[in-house]
Amino acid sequence: MKPAFVFGTRPEIIKLAPVIRAFLDRGVKPLLIHTGQHYDYEMSSVFLEELEMPPIDHHLEVGSGTQAEQTGLAMIKIEKVLRDERPDVVLVQGDTNTVLAGALASVKLKIPVAHVEAGLRSFDRTMPEEINRILADHASEVLFPPTEEARKNLEREGITKNVYVVGNTVVDAVLQNAEVAERKSDVLKRFGLKPKEYVLVTAHRAENTDSRENLERLIEILEGLPIRAVYPMHPRTRGRLEEFGLWERVASIENLTVTKPLGYLDFLKLERNAFAIMTDSGGVQEEAIILNVPCLTLRYNTERPETVAAGGNVLVGLEKERALRYLQRLLEDGEFYRKMAGAANPFGDGKAGERIAEILMGLHERGELMVRG
């Protein structure tokens, strides 16, 4: 069997690594196609190295651009590779422009697409990710929603065939790496942080960083933090802060350490030892509940509502008063803290990667892996 993986950003590498490993463990060598949507060392290569991925077979160097430029160029380049390689299936993960490009290029060549982390919906069509998710799901032949809730979203849109609830591969990634991170990373020492005495912050989403007004609201929250904080900053956010002349203001916040994006082992260790996490990241919301760290999400909606229902995540948006009130409550109310930290992980048992490989190999063996007429 010849599976191909199309990926291009930090979270895709992290969440596909367990699936790639599961194929390798079963004696199948997958074809790896990296679009180059993320290209800085600390947004891409560091993860390929830390997660001990095999060499990339095709590096497409698509880079940054407008939505259409990035998606269009990726499609053109992916199509060329798929034409030559003719894999049995193309796996994509999540909701980036790389995912949309991979799914569209593939299905139009009649190569079946398998979508890992299918069925997520924020119901906010102003997010580029929401459009990517919906279109990728509808272009896919095999769908791997992480939860029953995600499966129901697919059902509501009429997608019921070849849908397998397998859990989220992020659990596999965390379980495979958290202990290694704890042993190997010296990140707490490097930043002079003590366990459970700091807040970990990440924010990069377009709706939070593309407007000066929203960036200022984010900064006001950071300025009000009553506890030490560390913020590994996505290059998008750094770029926008500089563009709007707001970088100096962030850099001068006393309680706050801003760093470049960190490798996975350092970041996992920071997450696990944080008092709380404030983020607009999808993957970080998931990892917080897996690692039993309370999460305050800097958004008004989430495509991971399971984390909120379980009690481990609160949507605070960019509302300073709300965000700081919740943080203060976590600091003062031990019972509330334990309740949030103790929320049950809704994303499965860490065997999603193995299930995905098994299911796809089974479909292939039975001759059922195809784009149907």
Residue 174 Cβ vs ligand UD1, minimum distance, rounded to whole Å:
17
Quick one: what does residue 239 bind among ligand UD1, ligand UDP, none, with the CB cut-off 5 to 8 Å set by partner type? Answer: ligand UD1
The answer to whether residue 209 forms part of the interface with ligand UDP (CB under 6 A) is no
The answer to whether residue 14 forms part of the interface with ligand UDP (CB under 6 A) is yes
Q: How many CB atoms neighbour CB 190 within 10 A? A: 12
What are the tokens at 61? 């160097």
**Cα–Cα dist 257/249, whole Å:** 13
**Cα–Cα dist 257/250, whole Å:** 9
Residues of this chain, 267-326, that bind ligand UD1 according to CB under 6 A: none
**Cα–Cα dist 282/3, whole Å:** 26
The answer to whether residue 261 forms part of the interface with ligand UDP (CB under 6 A) is yes
Segment holding 320, helix H or strand E: helix 320-332
Contact present, 356 and 19 (Cβ < 8 Å):
yes
**Cα–Cα dist 267/111, whole Å:** 36
- Helix axes of 169-184 and 352-365: crossing angle, nearest 10 degrees: 140
Residues of this chain, 26-85, that bind ligand UD1 according to CB under 6 A: 37-40, 43, 64, 70
1 vs 132, beta carbon nearer ligand UDP: 132
Number of residues in contact with ligand UD1 under rule CB under 6 A: 20
Quick one: what does residue 267 bind among ligand UDP, ligand UD1, none, with the CB cut-off 5 to 8 Å set by partner type? Answer: ligand UDP
Quick one: what does residue 262 bind among ligand UD1, ligand UDP, none, with the CB cut-off 5 to 8 Å set by partner type? Answer: ligand UDP
Q: Buried b vs exposed e over 226-261: b needs ≥16 C-beta within 10 Å?
A: eebbbbbbbbbbbebbeeeebbeebeebeebbbeeb
* Residue 176 burial (C-beta neighbours within 10 Å; 0-12, 13-18, 19+): middle
151 vs 204, beta carbon nearer ligand UDP: 204
DSSP string, 16-36: HHHHHHHHHHTT---EEEE--
Largest CA distance in the chain: 61
What are the tokens at 271? 């997450």
Quick one: what does residue 128 bind among ligand UDP, ligand UD1, none, with the CB cut-off 5 to 8 Å set by partner type? Answer: ligand UD1
- Catalytic position from the list 115, 204, 234, 364: 204
Pairing of strands 313-315, 295-297: parallel
- Binding residue (CB under 6 A) for ligand UDP from 202, 208, 209, 345: 202
Give the residue among 274, 50, 89, 55 at the shortest CA–CA distance from 173: 50
Contact present, 191 and 200 (Cβ < 8 Å):
no
- Binding residue (CB under 6 A) for ligand UDP from 7, 144, 164, 267: 267
- Binding residue (CB under 6 A) for ligand UDP from 6, 10, 89, 274: 10
The answer to whether residue 236 forms part of the interface with ligand UD1 (CB under 6 A) is yes
Number of residues in contact with ligand UDP under rule CB under 6 A: 15
The answer to whether residue 350 forms part of the interface with ligand UDP (CB under 6 A) is no
Quick one: what does residue 264 bind among ligand UD1, ligand UDP, none, with the CB cut-off 5 to 8 Å set by partner type? Answer: ligand UDP
10 vs 355, beta carbon nearer ligand UD1: 10
204 is catalytic: yes
1 vs 203, beta carbon nearer ligand UDP: 203
* Residue 95 burial (C-beta neighbours within 10 Å; 0-12, 13-18, 19+): buried
Residues of this chain, 273-292, that bind ligand UDP according to CB under 6 A: 281-284, 287
The neighbouring-strand residues paired with 58 are: 33
Active-site residue numbers?
Answer: 204
Binding residues for ligand UD1 (CB under 6 A) = 9-11, 37-40, 43, 64, 70, 95-97, 128-129, 204, 234-236, 239
Give the interface with ligand UDP as residue ranges (CB under 6 A): 10-11, 14, 202, 204, 232, 261-262, 264, 267, 281-284, 287
